[in-house]
Amino acid sequence: MSTALPMRKPQRNPQLNAHGELIHLLSTEGLPKPIIHQILDTAEQFLSVNEREVKKVPLLRGKSVFNLFFENSTRTRTTFEIAAKRLSADVINLDIARSSASKGESLLDTIANLSAMQADMFIVRHSESGAPYLIAQHVAPHVHVVNAGDGRHAHPTQALLDMYTIRHYKKDFSNLTVAIVGDIVHSRVARSNIHALTTLGVPEVRVVGPRTLVPGDLREMGVRVCHSMEEGIRDADVIIMLRLQNERMTGGMLPSSGEFFKEFGLTPAKLALAKPDAIVMHPGPINRGVEIDSAVADGKQSVILPQVTFGIAVRMAVMGIIAGNEA
Amino acid sequence: MSKILIQNGRLVDPASGLDQVGDLAITSGRITALGKVPADFAPDRVIDATGLIVAPGLVDLAARLREPGHEHEGMLESELAAAAAGGVTSVVCLPDTDPTLDEPGLVEMLKLRARKLSRCRLFPLGALTRGLKGETLTEMAELVEAGCIGFSQAEVAIKDTLVLQRAMQYASTFGYTVWLRPQDPWLGKGVAASGSVATRLGLSGVPVSAETIAINTLIELVRATGTRLHLCRISSAAGVELVRQAKAQGLPITADVSINSLLLTDVDIGYFNSSMRVTPPLRQGRDRDALQAGLADGTLDALVSDHTPVSEDEKVLPFGEAEPGATGLELLLSLALKWAGADHQAQPDAARLRRALSVVTQGPVKVLGEALGSLSSSAGRLVTGGVADVVVFDPAASWVVEPSALVSQGKHTPFAFETTGFELSGRVRLTLVAGQVAHDALDQTVVA
């Protein structure tokens, strides 16, 4: 017997206000296409700022941006710091290593304390999926939250800078084949990229790797699941390589990094299967000889370093836009 | 107050098929007349139950009362009061307290405290192994003497199959029932059910095979040892099917399902709502449908609240870090009515009402069986001469779940109105345990 339940109350996407404007950036899932383009267009304007002698705009003057990293990441934190400073914000870095629970103070107590220090924006990195949502639900209305990576769930600014990179080199999303290679199941970058790419109308998104790292139920996210590089890379326009974490070997998901490289590492020979003008991306930091051959990482098709430059502009755009919208 | 007369209520007892408007007389804790009460009965208190349903008190096979050791999350006093407020007159509590219920003295103390509170009958499950560690057996015979009605590992699976087999063999020596939640300890490590929601949200998954592998192992051990087994909190369609097959083979196996798994799915997790963090994890729509069907056709014997009060500090955390569990004692009746389609009716259809009440009275009593001792012939039933464990409720009264208004110390529930947006129906007006008033909200009855 199946009882039809009444409809549940629709839950509003917590990153948008009642007018559909971006107030937090938590995920690329449910991020409307016009907002993605708005972020990319704004980033394009900021790129010229980054080329100026005085690299500052006063958009966030007088505002306090707290870098709240419950999980260490010097690179991402630094790019956010640079972006915030170029917007003239005051930046406070807090490295709260590992879980808030192990420190004794609860996550929300930490947030309450920092809010009392007149924070205007929290940039949050946390090892648990969904932590930035919890924070966004509990901050004062004027405080904005940017997800800088939560567990396996999302890394929206990385995805947006990847979209920027793809748009920069490929102009149009509507006829692309994009392959994401490596540890998909544990990757917040992969999830955020999949949502952004499908929203932007990319007709074919492939995820490539062994079954332990690329389970079949990923298909439900609208991607083609490939278990060989041959199938995954062929005729691709964009190849996004993911970093392989060492713990995948100790956790029994892979026998060795050598075997992974042999089967799924990107070498010049495998890259030749892609379109001649394919670009190679990587969120960094790269493991040479594990997921990518140096000849490819440093090769003509690699856009890994431009990604980093674009990343600052994209993060400036995100912070600038959400700071201008009210809850 | 030794003599009570409940007048003009709709007397419903799924076990006997009784469903008629009439009176019920109680003398010294026992039902002395049912239907027509002798004219010379001189009650001390008369209760007008016009428009209300008079049914056997509910029997809940799974509740955590949090004593001893977790008093910040719940205490015997608050949680047994919650049971009474939910019309529950008998409750089975789990051994995962701190210390665990592996010592007869602890069990005696709990039983004694519960008796003094006289809100609800308490039937503890003893730990199957010491400290639930899965290594050495507990003194089962002594624990039963102290009041345990069976043995359980709560949420801690025994990893060593040899220990599991021996624990089952030993329990079967004395005819004790072993109550286990089937979950493979390794595959069961995730925080949400495997599937598209967990994949999308980046939450670690618990595959259906975590449940089916454990059920298959347990079924084989039942076959080998003849132990009576109660499978707790089946959560998947495949799990229901395995229970169905085992029962068809005549194996001594019973099973239950929680209100959470019966009515919710992983989609309800929404944006990481940690109120939806429960064990077993909420699965997909087809699993929920199979659980509803399995409860209707008797494959699953009982509906349980799986009541688990969790403190604010342990719950308002990122989904994966939040402590699993939800409050449930006060929702059991209304959710049983909802499942059976007996809600939102001034006088529910007889078949639906019987179905709803059966899974929270007759069904669980069948699972408990002989372990109830002298109560086994009358608990969960309305019979002349039987114990007067009775609930009087208003089937037409609608209500919304406001967590702060709950009696339980645990305020977190997936069924909060704020989340679900739906109204429940069925409000308990009076709960009697052995003829004693355990909960009285008769003054809230709206006279039509």
User: Does the pLDDT at position B247 exceed 80?
Assistant: yes
B306 has catalytic annotation: yes
- Show pLDDT as tens, one digit a residue, over chain A (327 residues): 444 444 455 567 899 999 999 999 999 999 999 999 999 999 999 998 777 777 789 999 999 999 999 888 888 999 999 999 999 999 998 877 654 445 567 888 888 888 888 899 999 999 999 999 999 999 999 999 999 999 999 999 999 999 999 999 999 999 999 999 999 999 999 999 999 999 999 999 999 999 999 988 899 999 999 999 999 999 999 999 999 987 777 778 999 999 999 999 999 999 999 999 999 999 999 999 999 999 999 999 999 999 999 999 999 999 999 999 988
Q: B202, A221: Cβ pair inside 8 Å?
A: no
Best B189, B197, B201 residue to mutate vs chain A (most A CBs within 10 Å): B201
pLDDT value of residue B446: 56
Task: Catalogue the long-range contacts made by B435-438 (C-beta closer than 8 Å, 24 or more residues apart).
Answer: B435/B1, B435/B2, B435/B4, B435/B26, B435/B27, B435/B28, B435/B29, B435/B30, B435/B387, B435/B388, B436/B1, B436/B29, B436/B118, B437/B1, B438/B84, B438/B89, B438/B118, B438/B119, B438/B120
Greater confidence (B446 vs A295) lies with A295
Considering CB atoms only, which of A8, A108, A153 is closest to B201?
A153
**Which residue of chain B has the CA closest to A151?**
B202
- How many angstroms separate the CA of residue B223 from the nearest CA in chain A? 30
**Which residue of chain A has the CA closest to B321?**
A128
Q: Which amino acid is present at B298?
A: G
User: Which positions in chain B touch A5 (Cβ < 8 Å)?
Assistant: 263, 422
Question: Please, which pLDDT band fits residue B190 given cuts at 50, 70 and 90?
Answer: very high
Average confidence score pLDDT of chain B: 96
- d(CA A159, CA A238) in angstroms, rounded, equals 14
Q: B202, A1: Cβ pair inside 8 Å?
A: no
**Which residue of chain B has the CA closest to A218?**
B199
**Which residue of chain A has the CA closest to B272?**
A130
pLDDT value of residue B328: 97
User: Which positions in chain A touch B321 (Cβ < 8 Å)?
Assistant: 99, 101, 128
User: Which positions in chain A touch B289 (Cβ < 8 Å)?
Assistant: 2
How far from each other are the two terminal CA atoms of chain A, in whole angstroms? Answer: 43
Question: Please, which pLDDT band fits residue B421 given cuts at 50, 70 and 90?
Answer: confident
SS3 A149: strand
CB A171 within 8 A of CB A163: no
- d(CA B128, CA B158) in angstroms, rounded, equals 10
Q: B421, A221: Cβ pair inside 8 Å?
A: no
What ipTM was reported for this prediction? 0.92
User: Which positions in chain A touch B266 (Cβ < 8 Å)?
Assistant: none
Considering CB atoms only, which of B263, B313, B319 is closest to A129?
B319
pLDDT value of residue B448: 42
- How many angstroms separate the CA of residue B429 from the nearest CA in chain A? 26
Catalytic-labelled residue, pool B102, B306, B343, B394: B306
- How many angstroms separate the CA of residue A252 from the nearest CA in chain B? 13
pLDDT value of residue B87: 98
Q: A154, B318: Cβ pair inside 8 Å?
A: no
**Which residue of chain A has the CA closest to B204?**
A152
User: Which positions in chain B touch A29 (Cβ < 8 Å)?
Assistant: 200
SS3 A152: coil
Q: What is the mean pLDDT of residues B45-57?
A: 97
Q: B203, A152: Cβ pair inside 8 Å?
A: yes
pLDDT value of residue A207: 98
pLDDT value of residue A236: 98
Considering CB atoms only, which of A2, A107, A217 is closest to B292?
A2
Cα A109 → chain centroid: 27
- Would you state the structure tokens that stand for residue B230, as one six-digit string? 């109660």
Q: B263, A152: Cβ pair inside 8 Å?
A: no
Considering CB atoms only, which of A14, A108, A191 is closest to B202?
A191
How many cross-chain Cβ pairs, A to B, lie less than 8 Å apart?
A: 97
3-class secondary structure per residue, chain B: CCEEEEEEEEEEECCCCEEEEEEEEEECCEEEEEECCCCCCCCCEEEECCCCEEEECEEEEEECCCCCCCCCCCCHHHHHHHHHHCCEEEEEECCCCCCCCCCHHHHHHHHHHHHHHCCCEEEECEECEHHHCCCCECCHHHHHHHCCCCEECCCCCCCCHHHHHHHHHHHHHCCCEEEECCCCCCHHHCCEECCHHHHHHCCCEECHHHHHHHHHHHHHHHHHHCCEEEECCCCCHHHHHHHHHHHHCCCCEEEEEEHHHHHCCHHHHCCCCHHHCCCCCCCCHHHHHHHHHHHHCCCCCEEECCECCCCHHHHCCCCCCCCCCECCCCCHHHHHHHHHCCCCCCCCCHHHHHHHHHCCCHHHHHHHHHHHHHHHHCCCCCCCCCECCEEEEEEEEEECCCHHHCCCCCCCCCCCHHHHCCCEEEEEEEEEECCEEEEECHHHCCCC
pLDDT value of residue A187: 95
Q: What is the mean pLDDT of residues B365-371?
A: 96
Q: A2, B195: Cβ pair inside 8 Å?
A: no
User: Which positions in chain B touch A159 (Cβ < 8 Å)?
Assistant: none
Q: What is the mean pLDDT of residues B162-170?
A: 98
- Counting residues of chain B whose pLDDT is more than 70, the rounded percentage is 99
User: Which positions in chain B touch A6 (Cβ < 8 Å)?
Assistant: 421-422
Q: A6, B194: Cβ pair inside 8 Å?
A: no
Name the interface residues of A facing B (CB cutoff 8 Å): 1-3, 5-9, 11, 14, 29, 99, 101, 106-108, 126, 128-131, 133-134, 150-154, 185, 188, 191, 215, 217-218, 220-221
User: Which positions in chain A touch B319 (Cβ < 8 Å)?
Assistant: 128-130
B367 φ, ψ to 5°?
-65, -45
